[in-house]
Amino acid sequence: MRAVLIMNSASGTSTMATTEGTPEEHEAAILGKLRSYGVEVEVRQTTPEDPGAGVAAQAAAEQADVVIAAGGDGTVHEVALGLIGTHSALGIIALGTMNNLAHSLHIPATIEEACAVIATGETHAIDVGKINDLFFLEVAGVGLEAAFFPAAEEMKGPGLLTTLRGLFNGLRTLLVFQQAKLRISFDERQRRPYTAIQVTICNSRYYGPQFELVPGASMDDGRLDVVIFKNFSKLEYIRHAISISQGKRAYQPRVIHRHVRSMRLNADHPLEIQADGLPLGYTPATVTIIPGALHVRVPAPVASGRQPSDGQIAHPNVDASPPETRSWDTSRRPLRR
């Protein structure tokens, strides 16, 4: 196996990072472990000009078997972008704070175990979402959640004053944001009207601060899980967000869920759009799924459908009939293959 390791020297330096150590220590540990499995490794670095996509695409053009992203979710996403549609597989060594993609794919958190997955696991094809012109791996959102993102990024900045300013801007966004009248079509069918505060489109199970909005979301079923927050008050929205952050599903008023291949969305006034935490302008939005567009190294039980100790890639019961508007079904569970 020939591997290219793409390192982000800034990853793992946060006090909230799950893996302790310096970038130099991380690199040494990764190389030592991979080489103990007989994996030939070449190291390349991200740069401000190329945070990962370009160097990953070059590695794929050079026919690397595996291109390994060692960093946080941002680095993993950038490297993944460079590998979409290629034969090179993405390897993930999560060194960030949230590590949502690794978590969704059940890739272990430690360097040693993640290296073992790369060397002894299996290559599995996962889906990639696309909203307008931007690919996304985790989640895209339209409405209040997307409007919140600038304030959320500000809160992550250094210094108490920056954090307080972010909190103030977030509260102001919540107070002034108004629900929109939407027209949405699913799978190229007739558009229907909705009044909603937010629409969230999930490809992965986890996103943001490890929110799990759709417990049965699958990354390899050729579908997207769309959640419409219909006629929510601001208080209901806050209570819902708290419920989700605590891993609960009891408080979900007027949540509509669809399991679809595509959607088109228009609003009566421009609404913010985000994809994997990146701002993407305003509505209208066209969303599609690209099945099996990215190859990833995952634990062997996950790829084969056997149940690992902490779960597996979810495979929900996909209904091929036209989607129906329905309230959230808390009994919906993934099927095992």
Reported as a single tens digit per residue, the pLDDT across 23-74 is: 899 999 999 999 999 999 999 999 999 999 999 999 999 999 999 999 988 9
List pLDDT tens digits, range 221-230: 999 999 999 9
Name every residue whose Cβ is closer than 8 Å to that of residue 85 and which is 6 or more positions away in sequence: 293
Residue 192: is its pLDDT beyond 90?
A: yes
Q: For residue 173, how many C-alpha atoms fall within 13 Å in the half-sphere facing its CB? A: 20
The domains of the chain, with CATH numbers, are: 2-120 (3.40.50.10330), 134-293 (2.60.200.40)
**DSSP string for residues in 207-256:** BTTTB-S-TT--SSSS-EEEEEEET--HHHHHHHHHHHHTT--S--TTEE
CA angle 292, 257, 100 (to 5 degrees): 50
List pLDDT tens digits, range 239-271: 877 777 776 665 566 789 999 999 999 999 999
How far is Cα of residue 200 from the mean position of the Cα atoms in its chain? 12
- Percent of the chain whose predicted confidence (pLDDT) is above 70: 82
